[in-house]
A and B are shown apart, each in its own frame.
Chain A
Amino acid sequence: MKHLLSTADLSKDDALLLLDTSAQMAATQSREIKKLPTLRGRTVVNLFYEDSTRTRISFETAAKRLSADVINFSAKGSSVSKGESLKDTALTLHAMGADAVVVRHWASGAPAQLAHAGWLDAAVLNAGDGTHMHPTQALLDAFTIRRHLVGLRGGGADRDGVGSDLAGLKVAIVGDVLHSRVARANVRLLHTLGAQVTLVSPPTLLPVGVEAWPCRTSYDLDATLADWQPDAVMMLRVQRERMSGGSGAFFPSPLEYTRYFGLDGRRLALLPEHAIVLHPGPMNRGLEISAEAADSDRAVIVEQVANGVAVRMAALYLLLAHTEAAHTEGTSL
């Protein structure tokens, strides 16, 4: 692995290595001294063309916990607002000696372009591109699901479910699939890890070509929860900022959306006893998720944020700890 661009490129072994490494990273985060010297002297650039609070802070925390230097570069108030192209920005970062670039971009495919165009030789981590992919979010979702439904529920000595995949688990992903890179990233990763996925969404918010994805689809949330009995429900944010013409363009009214696709206390009661509720954040309380559901003890939404740091530490460690030359040199200790 040189870059982390898409969950579709991850083999099952890669994905499990990332999740298992995340478990070890998570273990270090409960210590008094959380900082590790592992990436000392490395520079990680957070290149954010789109507003983001939690992903940027999560990556920044992860890099700092591994002792890397972090440079934050947001498009607002930078040379980008003066019209600099992605290429010129990349060349600048290369000249500054960045070892890794964490990129969030409004255009799908921008991280892949950055990784393969030869502008810079740093490792590229996709922190969300357009409506394409958000691999670290999917990894932290899978990590959280594995921890709760394989590790804790298995009752074994290993609370994180290290080494296990998600075979046999059922995950419902509910809401605005059309605009959601989180849904796309999760469908691929959960499929690779052996889980079954059902997308639940109004017809207008399912993308064209969804039949080709490795998952089922449904327009009926109540039926899916009651009949399919998912082990985990992932609520997606209704992305009003991506809906030109306001929310009315995709569904008649926010209230109707809530009635049909919002998770509330009644729908929560339809789920099996062990089922958990995930949300990638930020939540629209009262729209896709009610306060009752968001604050219930089934919701693992806050834990997802903590796991996000561990997953991003694992990704940075696996991409950055070695240099490319190491694969050929091979020194012994």
Chain B
Amino acid sequence: MSTGTGMPGTPEGTTVLGASDVARALTRIAHEIVERAKGAQDVVLLGIPTRGVTLAVRLAERLAAIDPAFDPARDVGELDVTMYRDDLRRQPTRAVGVTRLPEAGIEGKTVVLVDDVLYSGRTIRAALDAIGDLGRPRAVRLAALVDRGHRELPIRPDFVGKNLPTATSESVRVRLAEVDGEDAVVISGRAADAPGAAERGEATR
């Protein structure tokens, strides 16, 4: 991670979404989910660890506020995709995470996968394979807080918090209060953030 100039209050990089932006985006996504599914009674949220799970929990509160048929304690789960990844051989061993499904399973439900950043689409491909082994939902939808482009597979999100055009050299991090102590979406690794190149006030692209 390069050190560079950032907006005040962030350790590094440029903050593109603040806490209130994240909150508004999640509220909008929640409404879109209910609208698309015509209610929330058969909706199941599956978060992809780590931050997808946190986002799923937050979305669940909002869904319950919109449609009381949705129970945040009952209809939220987490889906670890580690053992379905296609890049296991190219990375140091990853610890296997927890997969926890709602009591009633996902059979015949509308599953909404929740992830923080949508990038190559490979994580979602792995998640689709994992879901296929767990049951047969009526439909699978995808919600992501940030879509940064550069898809390598024919996968598109149904619900997006923010479309963020990026270069592959940049890195996008979603920071959430439960995990990182604050809510923000931060881009780093831009030209102006490169070590040595950065002076305060030097423009980012």
Residues of A within 8 A of B (CB): 17, 20-21, 24-25, 27-28, 31, 33, 35-38, 66, 317-318, 321-323, 325-327, 329-331, 333
Contacts and interface: CB of A to CB of B under 8 A. Distances in A.
Contacts of A21: 95-96
Interface string B52-87: 000000000000000000000000000010011001
Given A37-B83, A326-B91, A24 B96 contact: yes
Interface residues of B, number: 23
Given A24-B80, A24-B96, A66-B83, 5 more contacts: A25-B96, A317-B93, A327-B92, A330-B92, A333-B87
Nearest to B122: A333
Contacts of A333: 87, 119-120, 122-123
A32 to B, nearest CB: 8
Most buried by A among B90, B129, B134: B90
24 contacts: A24-B96, A28-B99, A31-B134, A36-B84, A36-B133, A37-B83, A38-B88, A317-B93, A321-B88, A321-B89, A322-B88, A322-B90, A322-B92, A323-B89, A323-B90, A325-B90, A326-B89, A326-B92, A330-B91, A330-B92, A331-B87, A331-B90, A331-B91, A333-B122
Contacts of B120: 333
The CB with the most chain B CB atoms within 10 A, among A21, A326, A331, is that of A326
Contacts of A31: 133-134
Contacts of A318: 93
Contacts of B123: 333
B98 interface: yes
B97 interface: yes
A66 B84 CA distance: 10
A30 to B, nearest CB: 11
Contacts of B84: 36-38
Nearest to B97: A24
B105 to A, nearest CB: 10
Contacts of A327: 92
A27 B87 contact: no
Nearest to B168: A332
Shortest beta-carbon contacts, A-B, top 7: A38-B83, A24-B96, A33-B133, A321-B88, A36-B83, A322-B93, A331-B90
B151 to A, nearest CB: 12
Contacts of A317: 83, 93, 96
Contacts of B91: 322, 326, 330-331
